[in-house]
Structures are given as structure tokens and as C-alpha cells.
């Protein structure tokens, strides 16, 4: 089994597009593939039209009351292609793991105890270098870093590679790192210049196949499917199919067992554990999602029991989500990170929307959820 994390802290460079379509093309080659979505934005999950109240959060969290096993949350996408879905509540895991020993190995532990046999496990990472990304790198044998040819810069690459080195030095876990050029526009001279620069900077780390700009890839995502279900004759399908062939030809190479070390990007001296621990703490401190206090309230003078339930608390009706009454106005303070959340009030067992909030959306079950959007930078 090969475990490949698709990661780059830069947003929008093609991580999810690559995870989804590489998974689909490996499956089209007869390989059994599981895509694990560990991005709280859940773009892979949503982009494949997967709906589930259980997610990888229920597998990785130790404090959730709705604990699940990885095999319990897996859903089938298409033949030989399964997904372990994500959800916005996964963002709270960063906080939960902040002070825990072994926090970087939670996903690795899960995959080690996982009994279902897949040829490939791909991991779609969030656009940051927080604990979820570190978990992915720690769990993976290989890392693919998508780099956009259109706006390539080395900014941030050092930080990402220092995490790979950190995992190597601290956990003695060797990860083979490859660069994938994405969004290549052959109409622009600029793209070719960038490709040359990437080649000279990364040489043998560069995957030979590149992914061209192809609007069909975006359209497939918007239609809730992968490119082979949407337009298998498109340039995007061809590119990802060729990439999957390149990955498959490396199957017998000892390099991909993750047990032998290929030349690192930068030779670093092994560092004492304390130094590495401090560095990991520094990175985590910077990357931990910032929270903001939000007060929810609803006027229900005759109610006896009121809860706030939403994507931020996994829709759980438990004591921590109970609202308090003051002269008939029930309220509850929650600390939330940036994101868009659906929620409802549950008044004496009845699920109702927040009538004081004009933002709302029909949910997959046909009823209405209220919506709140938090941007901690505002
Ligand atoms: N080769 C491509 N051609 C055209 N559009 C693309 C291509 N690759 C990705 N896109 C589009 O660019 C946007 C960003 O891509 P994607 O979601 O894969 O990036 P990401 O790195 O996963 O983003 P995030 O960092 O937010 O997770 C999406 O709308 C996607 O459909
Ligand atoms: Mg993504």
C-alpha cells in the first residue's frame, strides 16, 4: 500500500483537483484507492457530492461523543474509488491536539490499525502547515507538492520542506517528495519560463507529467464529480491519466517503500529532540486557527430546553451546547474559527431556523438551515 499526501500551504494550487482526479485515474487503472480528506474546508468531499454527518473528525478526535472507525465513515465514489469525508468541525481538532503528546501521529496510528486493503491512500491536505498537514506528512510514504506554473514562487517552499525534514529527523520517518506542475498554460511564454525555473530548482524531484489548465477540471468539480465521469476525453482527464501511469510505474521501485532515503532537498544535521520540539511548537502556534467569540440567541419564553446545533459542534445535542435563558431569551457563546457554518436551534426537541438571521440555505434533507460566516480577519 502506498500512502501519498498532496500538500502545499499555498491555497488554490490544485491539491484537491489532483487528489480527486489522481485517485479516479489510479482506480481506472484497476487500483483500489481511498482518498482521505483532511481539509476542514472539505472541498474534495463536497466536490464529489458526498453528504455525511460523520467525517474524519469522528475518527481522529478523542473527545467527540460520536467516535467512529475509519472503515465506518468510508463512502464509495465510483468503482475502486472510496473517500473518507471531511467536515468543517475538523478545524476544532487543531485546538484539541494542540497540547497533546503524539499529536502528530494520530492519522498514522489510525492508518496503522486500518484493516481494509487499498493499493493507494491519497490524503488531501488543507492550505496551511498546521497539525493536520503534519499528521498527513507523518502518515505518508510520499508527498506530492502541486506548484502552479502560472504564479510559481519559492515562497513558503522552505517552510514546507522544513516540515518534511522535521518529520524525518524527529520521527525517523522518510518521505519521498515530488513536485507536480499544475495549471500550466501553454499559450503563455511565461509558463515555459516558469517550467524551466522549476526544473532547474527541483531537477529529479519533478514529476515528468504536468497538468495543463483545463476548464473541464473546474466544471467537473462544480458538477460534484471527477473528470472521468464528466469528460473522459478532456485534456484534464488525459493529464491525470498520464500522471497515474507515471505513479504506477514507480510501484516496484524501492524508493517508494518509504524505507530508503533519497537525497533530501537540503542536508540538515540531525537536531536534538528539544530543538525540534520547540520548532514544531513555533509552527503550530503560528498555524493554529484563530477563534472569535460568537453569541447565538433566540427568544422562546415558553421553552424548557434549548440547544444550539450546527456544523461547528457536529449537530450534537449535549450539555455543552445547551443554551441559557434570561427572561425568555436563550443564548450561548461559542468560540469559532473562520468559516461558513450551518446551524439551527433545537427548542424542546423541535429543530428551527434562526428567524432573526436572513442568511439561510436548503440542506440535503430539504429543510432550511441558518448560515453564519465568520472571518476572523475582519
Ligand atoms: N488544471 C486546472 N485547470 C483549471 N482549473 C483548475 C485546475 N486545477 C485546479 N483548478 C481550479 O482551481 C481552483 C483551485 O483548485 P483546488 O481546489 O484543486 O486547489 P487547492 O490547492 O486544493 O485549494 P485549497 O488550498 O483551497 O485547498 C478550483 O476551482 C479548481 O477547479
Ligand atoms: Mg483543496
Q: Is the CB of 39 under 6 A from ligand 1?
A: yes
C-alpha cell at 130: 498546521
Q: Nearest residue CA, atom 30 of ligand 1?
A: 218
Q: What is the mean pLDDT of residues 179-197?
A: 88
Higher-confidence residue: 11 or 307?
A: 307
What is the position in ligand 1's atom list of the atom closest to the CA of 184?
A: 1
Q: If we measure between CA atoms, which residue out of 220, 218, 243 comes closest to residue 231?
A: 220
The rounded percent of the chain whose pLDDT value lies above 70 is 88
Distances (CA, A) of 108 to 125, 163, 263, 373: 14, 16, 24, 32
Q: Is the CB of 185 under 6 A from ligand 1?
A: no
**Ligand 1 geometric centre to CA of 339 (Å):** 18
Q: Is 70 exceeded by the pLDDT of residue 149?
A: yes
User: What average pLDDT does the structure give for the chain?
Assistant: 86
**Ligand 2 geometric centre to CA of 124 (Å):** 7
DSSP structural state of residue 207: -
Q: Rg of the chain's alpha carbons, rounded to an integer?
A: 22
Contact 354, 298 (CB under 8 A): yes
Q: Is 50 exceeded by the pLDDT of residue 245?
A: yes
Rounded CA separation 104/126 (Å): 15
- Per CATH, the homologous superfamily of domain 2-283 is P-loop containing nucleotide triphosphate hydrolases (3.40.50.300)
> Would you give the distance in Å from CA 15 to the centre of its chain?
9
**Ligand 1 geometric centre to CA of 17 (Å):** 5
Q: Is 90 exceeded by the pLDDT of residue 174?
A: no
C-alpha cell at 101: 503528546
Q: Is 80 exceeded by the pLDDT of residue 289?
A: no
Q: Helices 235-249 & 15-28, crossing angle to 10 degrees? A: 70
Q: Which residues pair with 96 in a beta bridge?
A: none
Rounded CA separation 45/84 (Å): 8
Name the pTM for this structure.
Answer: 0.77
Which chain residues have CB less than 5 Å from ligand 2, an ion? 15-16, 43
**Ligand 2 geometric centre to CA of 305 (Å):** 39
C-alpha cell at 341: 457554518
Q: If we measure between CA atoms, which residue out of 246, 190, 224, 276 comes closest to residue 26?
A: 246
Distances (CA, A) of 41 to 134, 311, 350: 17, 12, 29
**Ligand 2 geometric centre to CA of 22 (Å):** 14
Contact 160, 287 (CB under 8 A): no
Instruction: Report the pLDDT value the prediction gives residue 268, as an integer from 0 to 100.
Output: 43
C-alpha cell at 99: 497540547
Ligand (nearest to CA of 8): 1
Q: What is the mean pLDDT of residues 249-274?
A: 50
**Ligand 1 geometric centre to CA of 76 (Å):** 22
Determine which of 6-10, 249-253, 366-370 has the lowest per-residue pLDDT on average: 249-253
Q: What is the CATH number of domain 291-374?
A: 2.60.40.10
Q: Is 60 exceeded by the pLDDT of residue 253?
A: no
Q: Is the CB of 17 under 6 A from ligand 1?
A: yes
**Ligand 2 geometric centre to CA of 36 (Å):** 12
**Ligand 2 geometric centre to CA of 360 (Å):** 25
Q: What is the pLDDT of residues 84-107, one digit of tens each?
A: 999 999 988 888 887 777 788 899
Q: Is the CB of 211 under 6 A from ligand 1?
A: yes
DSSP structural state of residue 289: P
Q: Helices 131-139 & 273-287, crossing angle to 10 degrees? A: 130
Q: Nearest residue CA, atom 31 of ligand 1?
A: 218
Q: Is the CB of 16 under 6 A from ligand 1?
A: yes
Q: Is the CB of 11 under 6 A from ligand 1?
A: yes
Contact 206, 179 (CB under 8 A): yes
Q: Is the CB of 13 under 6 A from ligand 1?
A: yes
Q: Nearest residue CA, atom 28 of ligand 1?
A: 218
Confidence label for 164 from pLDDT (cuts 50, 70 and 90): confident
Ligand (nearest to CA of 20): 1
Q: What is the mean pLDDT of residues 277-293?
A: 68
Rounded CA separation 246/29 (Å): 12
Domain positions in the chain: 2-283, 291-374
Rounded CA separation 360/118 (Å): 40
Give me the helices (H) in the chain, please: 15-28, 43-47, 56-60, 70-73, 91-97, 106-112, 131-139, 157-171, 189-202, 215-222, 227-230, 235-249, 273-287
**Ligand 1 geometric centre to CA of 300 (Å):** 44
Q: Is the CB of 183 under 6 A from ligand 1?
A: yes
What is the position in ligand 1's atom list of the atom closest to the CA of 215?
A: 4
Provide the 3-class DSSP secondary structure of residue 75.
Answer: strand
Confidence label for 172 from pLDDT (cuts 50, 70 and 90): low
Amino acid at each position: 500500500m502506498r500512502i501519498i499526501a498532496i500538500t502545499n500551504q499555498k491555497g488554490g494550487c490544485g491539491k484537491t483537483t489532483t487528489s480527486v482526479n489522481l485517485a479516479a485515474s489510479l482506480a481506472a487503472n484497476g487500483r483500489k484507492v481511498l482518498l482521505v480528506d483532511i481539509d476542514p474546508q472539505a472541498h474534495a468531499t463536497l466536490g464529489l457530492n458526498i453528504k455525511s454527518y460523520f467525517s474524519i473528525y469522528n475518527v481522529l478526535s478523542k473527545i467527540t461523543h460520536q467516535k467512529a472507525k475509519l472503515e465506518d465513515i468510508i463512502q464509495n465514489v465510483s468503482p475502486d474509488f472510496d473517500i473518507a469525508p471531511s467536515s468543517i468541525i475538523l478545524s476544532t481538532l487543531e485546538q484539541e491536539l494542540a497540547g497533546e503528546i503524539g499529536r502528530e501521529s494520530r492519522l498514522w496510528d489510525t492508518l496503522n490499525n486500518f484493516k481494509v486493503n487499498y493499493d493507494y491512500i491519497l490524503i488531501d491536505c488543507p492550505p496551511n502547515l498546521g497539525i493536520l498537514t503534519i499528521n498527513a506528512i507523518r502518515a505518508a510514504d510520499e508527498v506530492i507538492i502541486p506548484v502552479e506554473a502560472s504564479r510559481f514562487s519559492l515562497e513558503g517552499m522552505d517552510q514546507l520542506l522544513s516540515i518534511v525534514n522535521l518529520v524525518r529527523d524527529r520521527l525517523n520517518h522518510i518521505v519521498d517528495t515530488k513536485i507536480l506542475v499544475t495549471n500550466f498554460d501553454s499559450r503563455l511564454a511565461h509558463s515555459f519560463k516558469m517550467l524551466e525555473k522549476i526544473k532547474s530548482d527541483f531537477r529529479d524531484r519533478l514529476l515528468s507529467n504536468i497538468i495543463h489548465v483545463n476548464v473541464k477540471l473546474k466544471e467537473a468539480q462544480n458538477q460534484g464529480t471527477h473528470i472521468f465521469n464528466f469528460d473522459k476525453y478532456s485534456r484534464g482527464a488525459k493529464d491525470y491519466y498520464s500522471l497515474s501511469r507515471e505513479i504506477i510505474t514507480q510501484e516496484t521501485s524501492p524508493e517508494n517503500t518509504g524505507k530508503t532515503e533519497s537525497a533530501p532537498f537540503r542536508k540538515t544535521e540531525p537536531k536534538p529532540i528539544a530543538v525540534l520540539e520547540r520548532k514544531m511548537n513555533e509552527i503550530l502556534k503560528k498555524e493554529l486557527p484563530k477563534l472569535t467569540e460568537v453569541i447565538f440567541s433566540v427568544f422562546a419564553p415558553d421553552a424548557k430546553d434549548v440547544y444550539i446545533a450546527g456544523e461547528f459542534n457536529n449537530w450534537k445535542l449535549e450539555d455543552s451546547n445547551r443554551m441559557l435563558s434570561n427572561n425568555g431569551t436563550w443564548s450561548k457563546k461559542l468560540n469559532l474559527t473562520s468559516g461558513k457554518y450551518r446551524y439551527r436551534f433545537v427548542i424542546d426537541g423541535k429543530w428551527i431556523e434562526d428567524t432573526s438571521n436572513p442568511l439561510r440555505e436548503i440542506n440535503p434533507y430539504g429543510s432550511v438551515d441558518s448560515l453564519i460566516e465568520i472571518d476572523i480577519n475582519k
